[in-house]
């Protein structure tokens, strides 16, 4: 059989494409459906549990990540914007209208906030010198003692492994929930119990990193970016650091 000339093949391909584009009835033509996994990393063709496993492995193996969004725990909503890696993290946390910065370098944790935050934490009583103390802490990195209960509560926001282990969990029976897009990146979405157990968008491009998580029970929505992008973590200068004492205000 003689080969079809190149020009004829091109015209035929163009004709098929035009027919597919113009098809508006319910009748499907063989070859018109585009494979949504074409040119991807292939995880979209895997079973949901395997997709979840691949995404967890990718997250655990990454040197760094940026995490932003909301987390609801014990009835309290936290808005996070954190950059994390194995030896620490930095970023901001907002809760009940108050925003504070966190920085952890190794085992040393620092909290940074304005005078209003510290005044509120101290009860805002000017008679006991609370306002004066808050002024001294304004914009400074306050070292959080490791024996302080606040250390355990806040250091978790700066620990990549602890935070991801606690967040990247879907509940119930897993299923795929279609192909989607997150910030211009194609994703495959998996869900727990048809969405009531949370949903997770996993990248179909390059490494199958988690890109977006909707937690079960309305417990927050998070996005994950800058996977593997290193950043500097340095202790603040002594002049920018204040040692609050043995314990931060309990509130």
Rounded to a whole number, what is the largest CA-CA distance in the chain? 99
| Domain regions of the chain by residue span | 43-107+146-228
Q: How confident is the model at residue 219 (pLDDT cuts 50, 70, 90)?
A: very high
Distance CA 41, CA 60 (A): 18
pTM: 0.80
Task: Write the CATH number of the domain with boundaries 43-107+146-228.
Answer: 2.50.20.20
- The per-residue pLDDT for range 85-129, each reduced to its tens digit, is 999 999 999 998 889 999 999 999 999 998 888 877 665 554 444
């Amino acid at each position: 059989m003689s080969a079809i000339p190149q020009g004829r093949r091109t015209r035929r391909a163009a004709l098929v494409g035009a027919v597919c584009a113009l098809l508006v009835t319910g009748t499907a033509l063989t070859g018109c459906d585009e494979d949504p996994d074409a040119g991807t990393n292939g995880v979209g063709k895997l079973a949901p549990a395997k997709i979840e496993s691949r995404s967890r492995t990718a997250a655990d193996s990454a040197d760094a990540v940026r995490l932003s969004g909301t987390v609801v725990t014990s009835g309290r909503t936290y808005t996070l914007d954190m950059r994390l890696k194995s030896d620490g993290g930095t970023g901001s946390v907002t809760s009940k209208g108050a925003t504070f910065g966190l920085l952890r370098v190794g085992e040393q944790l620092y909290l940074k906030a304005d005078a209003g935050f510290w005044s509120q934490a101290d009860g805002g009583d000017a008679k006991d010198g609370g306002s004066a103390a808050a002024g001294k802490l304004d914009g400074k990195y306050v070292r959080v003692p490791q024996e302080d209960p606040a250390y355990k509560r806040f250091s978790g926001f700066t620990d990549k492994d602890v935070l991801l282990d606690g967040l990247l969990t879907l509940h119930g029976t897993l299923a795929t929930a279609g192909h989607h897009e997150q910030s211009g990146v194609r994703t495959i979405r998996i869900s727990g119990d048809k969405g009531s157990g949370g949903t997770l968008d996993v990248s179909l491009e390059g490494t199958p990193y988690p890109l977006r998580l909707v937690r079960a029970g309305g417990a927050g929505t998070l996005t994950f970016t800058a996977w593997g992008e290193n950043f500097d973590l340095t202790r603040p200068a002594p002049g920018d650091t204040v040692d609050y004492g043995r314990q931060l205000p309990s509130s």
